[in-house]
Copies of this chain bind each other. A is one copy, B any other.
Amino acid sequence: MKPLDVLQQSLHKRVLVEMKGGRSYRGVLDAYDQHLNLVLSAAEEVVGGEVTPRTGLTLVRGDSIVYISP
């Protein structure tokens, strides 16, 4: 198994994405690429405990990501 296989298994499932700088996102993983760029639907942004819903598809840039978990 390679690390990106975990993203393949998480497709169309809800994930938590922790970013550099203390921001995080929760949403359904709709797409990814080898740079760990992600597309989330039904996403929520969490900054300092405050939750902001995001409508539509959100593209998260891979190089700001620290980890991705279910």
A interface residues (Cβ-Cβ under 8 A, vs B): 1-7, 9, 19-21, 23, 25, 30-33, 36-39, 43, 54-70
Contacts and interface: CB of A to CB of B under 8 A. Distances in A.
Given A21-B20, A63-B63, A64-B20, A3 B38 contact: yes
Contact of A43 (B19, B20, B60, B69): B69
B70 A59 contact: no
A59 B68 contact: yes
A4 B9 CA distance: 20
Nearest to A62: B61
10 contacts: A1-B30, A2-B31, A3-B59, A6-B59, A19-B66, A20-B21, A56-B70, A57-B70, A59-B67, A61-B67
